[in-house]
């Protein structure tokens, strides 16, 4: 498995710090601020031998075909990494995680990718959080095709994909050839 550079959608520089776009709108008489952050697309992943993650660290695991991938929940808890648009086993998957509610969701298209020669392109889902301006209460939302959906909305026009929330140790035991997304959690990288 090769490691590919992670980028924000529309941003060729993976080290660029992205400032969120925001707008305030009235919804049912309440001022809500909508914050838009681009998702991580084609994230950096590391072979399990290149990380030192505690065995009890929570991860979200996905298996597509013979390829397995873990996403460190501590990394997904960072708001700029709440949504990961990835390709696993040639299939587009989007991983979403809200650390406030603990909700995780893995999504894919309603169509099955059939070409084994060319992997599918990642989906184009982004973070679109909503904040009540008066109470500062936050709700995680995602944006797809310029429409905003609650993270757990059944109306999101994507298919749920099976995933497992477990610990790194249990995941690694079950999937010894796994790769892992650690995001900005550089302290988990093993030095060469």
Per-residue pLDDT of the chain (192 residues; tens, 9 = 90+): 223 333 334 444 444 444 455 565 554 556 666 677 788 888 989 999 999 999 999 999 999 999 999 999 999 988 778 899 999 998 999 999 988 888 899 999 877 655 555 667 888 888 776 666 666 666 777 888 888 888 888 888 999 999 999 999 999 999 999 999 998 888 888 876
- CA atoms of 177 and 65, how far apart (whole Å): 13
- State the pLDDT at residue 34: 66
Burial grade of 82 (CB within 10 A; 0-12, 13-18, 19 or more): buried
The Cβ of residue 52 has, within 10 Å, a number of other Cβ atoms equal to: 10
DSSP assignment of 121-165:
PPP--EEEEEEETTT--EE-EEEETTEEEETT-TTSSSEE---EE
- State the pLDDT at residue 167: 98
- State the pLDDT at residue 38: 80
Beta bridge partners of 59: 72, 166
pTM of the predicted model as reported, rounded to 2 decimal places:
0.78
């Amino acid at each position: 498995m090769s490691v590919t550079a992670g980028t924000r959608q529309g941003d060729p520089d993976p080290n660029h710090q992205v400032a969120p776009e925001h707008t305030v709108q009235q919804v049912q008489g309440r001022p809500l601020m909508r914050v838009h952050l681009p998702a991580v697309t084609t994230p950096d992943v590391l072979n399990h031998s290149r990380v030192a993650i505690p065995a009890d660290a929570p991860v979200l695991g996905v298996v597509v075909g013979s390829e397995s991938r873990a996403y460190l929940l501590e990394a997904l808890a960072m708001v700029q990494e709440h949504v990961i648009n990835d390709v696993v086993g040639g299939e587009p998957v989007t991983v979403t995680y809200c650390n406030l509610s603990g909700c995780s969701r893995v999504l894919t298209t309603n169509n099955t990718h059939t070409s084994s020669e060319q992997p599918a392109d990642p989906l184009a889902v982004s973070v679109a959080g909503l904040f009540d301006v008066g109470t500062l209460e936050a709700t995680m939302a995602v944006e797809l095709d310029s429409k905003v959906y609650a993270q757990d909305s059944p109306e999101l026009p994507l298919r749920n994909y099976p995933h497992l929330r477990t610990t790194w140790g249990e995941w690694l035991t079950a999937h010894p050839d796994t790769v892992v997304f650690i995001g900005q959690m550089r302290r988990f990288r093993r030095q060469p």
